[in-house]
Amino acid sequence: MPKKKGKGISFDAMVKFFMQNYNIPTKKDVDRIMAKLDRLENLVMAGMASGGYPLKEQTGRRKTAVTAVDIVFETIRRSRKGLGFADIQAKTGFGEKKIRNIIFRLNKIGKIKRKSRGIYVAS
């Protein structure tokens, strides 16, 4: 008895099978990811424009963001008598560990000095 020929598997079905088995993204997947990236870029740019991410200076074509170190240093520099740790934390809103690391770095490179225990002034 001859074998019965069934309906053959289409090329499209094979391609779809391999794409699903090997997690190969489709054009639709890539378009979704691109749309999400565009939304994120717009949120970041809106944050920069509204002051959420302060800009330091414009160098050539790029704008560089103000770093946490710059913010802490400027906060200390503006105070003539020096600032304590709690004052720095209240003015910048940064966490304790972050401020401790920044103060250590600024002290190490010589931008600030310890006036007394817990009080820092710009040098």
28 exposure class (CB count in 10 Å sphere: 0-12, 13-18, 19+): exposed
pLDDT digit string (tens) for 27-46? Answer: 999 999 999 998 888 877 77
Residue 75 has pLDDT above 80, yes or no: yes
pLDDT digit string (tens) for 87-108? Answer: 999 888 888 999 999 999 999 9
Phi-psi region of 25 (alpha: psi -120 to 50; beta: other; left: phi over 0): beta
Cα 80 from chain centre: 33
Report yes or no on whether pTM surpasses 0.85.
Answer: no
Question: Does residue 62 contact residue 55 with C-beta atoms inside 8 Å?
Answer: no
